């Protein structure tokens, strides 16, 4: 198991690369990555460890760090606008963080 700490919007997050068996025991076989928002943790199955999976889970972490998961009444158009603004204002940071996490967890 490897761990990498990173702050997103000043909120500390822990990214954990788990062995395949360990991941399946904790999270089942239906996913390869999971963002646990209330703990500010991301767990990744080492079997599926890619930059794309990190980017997917990182998106969830950014949404949670911007407190958007508590706005259930956002319509599709507004949620699309939120996504567009995250890309506009945070894309470079997200790509940089994705690469840091990937290297920090042992990727080359």
- Tell me the domain boundaries of the chain: 2-104
Which pLDDT score is estimated for 17?
A: 98
From the list 70, 15, 23, the residue with the least C-alpha distance to 40 is 15
Two structure tokens written together for 60: 């969830």
Which pLDDT score is estimated for 68?
A: 60
In this prediction the pTM is 0.87
Residue ranges of the chain with per-residue pLDDT less than 70:
68-72
Which pLDDT score is estimated for 83?
A: 85
Which pLDDT score is estimated for 71?
A: 62
Which pLDDT score is estimated for 51?
A: 97
């Amino acid at each position: 198991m490897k761990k990498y700490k990173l702050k997103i919007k000043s909120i500390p997050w822990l990214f954990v690369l788990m062995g395949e068996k360990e991941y399946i025991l904790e999270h089942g076989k239906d996913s390869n990555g999971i963002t646990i928002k209330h703990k500010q943790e991301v767990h990744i199955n080492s079997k599926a460890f890619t930059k794309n999976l990190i980017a997917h889970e990182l998106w969830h972490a950014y949404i949670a760090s911007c407190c958007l998961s508590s706005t259930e009444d956002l319509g599709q158009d507004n949620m699309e606008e939120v996504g567009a603004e995250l890309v506009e204002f945070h894309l470079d940071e997200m790509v940089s963080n994705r690469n840091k996490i990937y290297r920090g967890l042992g990727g080359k």
